[in-house]
Amino acid sequence: MFETMAATRLESLHLAQDPRSGLRAIIAIHNSRLGPALGGCRFLAYPSEQSALQDAMRLAQSMSYKAALAGLPHGGGKAVILRPAHVDNRAALFEAFGRMVESLGGAYITAVDSGTSSADMDCVAQGTQHVTSTSSAGDPSPYTAMGVFSGIRATALARLGSDDLEGVRIAVQGLGQVGFALAEQLAAAGAELLVSDYDQGRVQLAVEQLGATAVPSAQLIETPCEIFAPCGLGGVLNPDTVGRLHCTVVAGAANNQLSSPQMADELEARGILYAPDYVINAGGLIYVSLKHGGQPLPAITAHLARIALRLTDIYAHAQAEKRSPARVADSQAEHLLYGN
């Protein structure tokens, strides 16, 4: 455990249990140089305690990088609640988690993530004020989609020479909360949409409402297009898929798109411009951070515009330094976090 903490430069790890509600939770705080740690709370059944710990530590690190490059006054943190086989009283479990968050005195601010909802965060709020994305705070997904849309335009400008998406073929993988909202904006901008999702209902909706063309999930990655936008699960850019891509740009919402850092170098070698995932998908984090800080909507949308500027800066450095944008983004984030 301490080895992984050292490798990810994790500041602290907190464990708590509450036998009455069945809570068994981990909070990983990666870095607090820029401010209190902010990051979602997962509620999942893990194959082992070790895998839950690894998940919390790895995700906390990527939240630090995301917050730093988004220019937010936050470090990265992540919470993982091990989902029991049976939950008698879900509200009591999340209230107990709220007390755990409160015990850290504001060093960690929690939010929704896989397996949790705004209703759960309302229960967390019974025990702490250090919580965002409650029912009253609102869903961050539309803001993630807005940020990805502006990031796609910035990436198109850098690689295709224009940010006009009229007639540009864009393959959107995953039409969930973020992917569908993104597809709506792309369709409104005149893009030619190719879409896939495991949920055929979502695909049908995109075909009927947005004039998209449905492509089987297994084939989307190798379908010729200008821009491939991964908006499903992570790890989609891996040794099996990178060689099959038929695009010039990869820019989408999914977290942890690269199965390893080497995949970014392979994309670069193939002449594909990759928008670093934690830079382009920071819109939701920007929303929850500024909303928690009491900022009005115009300030939030103004801050979202920085995503495109940051990407443009990263691409300029990548070109000048002959490195992949992912490597440049990591270096910039590490400079902000560690000053080296």
**Whats the size of the chain, residue-wise?**
340
Residues in contact with ligand NAD, total (CB under 6 A)?
A: 25
Q: Which residue number places its CB atom closest to ligand NAD?
A: 176
Q: Where are the alpha helices (DSSP H) in the chain?
A: 2-8, 49-69, 90-103, 118-124, 141-160, 177-188, 200-210, 217-220, 262-269, 277-280, 283-292, 297-304, 306-321, 325-338
Segment contacting ligand NAD by CB under 6 A, of 1-9, 29-37, 198-206, 297-305: 198-206
Contact 317, 326 (CB under 8 A): no
Tokens of 208: 């009927």
Between 105 and 239, CB nearer to ligand NAD: 239
Between 112 and 314, CB nearer to ligand NAD: 112
Between 35 and 234, CB nearer to ligand NAD: 234
Out of 71, 138, 234, 293, name the contact with ligand NAD by CB under 6 A: 234
Between 202 and 310, CB nearer to ligand NAD: 202
Out of 88, 199, 240, 321, name the contact with ligand NAD by CB under 6 A: 199
By three-state DSSP, how is residue 71 classified? coil
By CB under 6 A, tell whether 232 contacts ligand NAD.
Answer: yes
Q: Which residues contact 101 (CB under 8 A, 6 or more apart)?
A: 27, 79, 108, 109, 110, 124, 127, 128, 130, 131
By CB under 6 A, tell whether 284 contacts ligand NAD.
Answer: yes
C-alpha neighbours within 13 Å on the C-beta side of residue 171: 23
How far is C-alpha 270 from the chain's CA centre? 25
Handedness of CA 199, 204, 209, 211 (dihedral sign): positive
By CB under 6 A, tell whether 29 contacts ligand NAD.
Answer: no
By CB under 6 A, tell whether 150 contacts ligand NAD.
Answer: no
Block residue for tokens 């970014």: 264
CB of 131 to ligand NAD, least distance (A): 16
Annotated catalytic, 78? yes
Segment contacting ligand NAD by CB under 6 A, of 11-19, 171-179, 237-245, 304-312: 171-179
Segment contacting ligand NAD by CB under 6 A, of 2-10, 45-53, 172-180, 292-300: 172-180
Out of 241, 255, 295, 331, name the contact with ligand NAD by CB under 6 A: 255
By CB under 6 A, tell whether 141 contacts ligand NAD.
Answer: yes
C-alpha distances in Å from residue 107, one per residue of 70, 71, 104, 131, 159? 19, 18, 6, 11, 41
Pick from 247, 277, 5, 337: nearest CA to 147? 277
Residues forming beta bridges with residue 76, ordered by sequence position = 38
Segment contacting ligand NAD by CB under 6 A, of 4-12, 45-53, 168-176, 268-276: 168-176
* Secondary structure element (H or E) that encloses residue 170, with its range: strand 169-173
By CB under 6 A, tell whether 197 contacts ligand NAD.
Answer: yes
By CB under 6 A, tell whether 77 contacts ligand NAD.
Answer: no
Out of 8, 185, 281, 332, name the contact with ligand NAD by CB under 6 A: 281
- What is the distance between the alpha carbons of residues 50 and 61, in angstroms, rounded to a whole number? 17
Between 148 and 191, CB nearer to ligand NAD: 148
**Backbone torsions φ then ψ of 329, nearest 5 degrees:** -60, -45
Which residues participate in catalysis according to the annotation?
78
Using CB under 6 A as the criterion, which residues of the chain lie in contact with ligand NAD when the complex forms?
Answer: 140-141, 144, 173-179, 196-199, 202, 217, 231-234, 253-255, 281, 284
